[in-house]
Structure 1
Amino acid sequence: MNIIPLIGGAVFAAVGAYIIYDYQRFNKNATKAKGRILRYDEYYSRSTNNYKSKVFRPIFELTIKGKRYEIKSKTSFHSKVIPVGQNTDVLYQQGDEENARLAKGNGYGLGLLFIALSIPAFYFGMFR
């Protein structure tokens, strides 16, 4: 048994489980509204092997009961997935509109990816 891959697998599985939990928790009480993409923040993200890639973080607006919110997404993308000026679906929780999320980037996919990546780590930790 090799402890290092087991620890890595546990971390990946925990991160994946948290992402799925957060998705379900947020969406359970979320309200859908229309928002509009205002602009993108562009920056470079560095991976563990020191490879830099340009990523885009959307900034969108949402108007609820006549009050306008300008929100920087917590999710970044490798392209400008929604054109600037275009309307898009936004999810928010009443009373916490400042933490609204784009519906497009809010899904199970990333959580499932982390869980899938934990499987080989567990295998190598237990059987190699």
Structure 2
Amino acid sequence: MVDIGNKQLQLNISEDDDLDLLESQAEELTSEDLMELEQQMIAFEEERLDLETPEPKKLLMNKLTEAFHLIEAGMAKLEEQDLNAERFTKVYRIVIDGLSCYKTICNKKKESSVQATLRN
């Protein structure tokens, strides 16, 4: 029985198991063993790097269009509630101006899509 913090772990380990483990640790590794260990470490490191490397971000036309619709819906909700039309108009213009770079990207993607369709 092994105590870990407030928990106890029941292990069925015999004295022979302890001796086998100690004897296996005393054996020298062969060149093949070392090469296999190195290959395992390389594979492990590559797998770890694959998991850590995030997918590159992309601006997709359908996602941009969806975002524009959501923003327009949000702006419409603000307009419904705001008694100050001048304030809303000012905020709306700021938002639209701020989104212009994304609108440009979306329009270029639409143009490219139409041109590709026309070629086919």
Higher RCO structure, 1 or 2 (CA under 8 Å, sep 6+): 1
Give the structure with higher Rg (CA): 2
- What TM-score, normalized by structure 1, do the two folds share? 0.29
- What TM-score, normalized by structure 2, do the two folds share? 0.31
Tell me which protein shows more strand as a share of its residues. 1
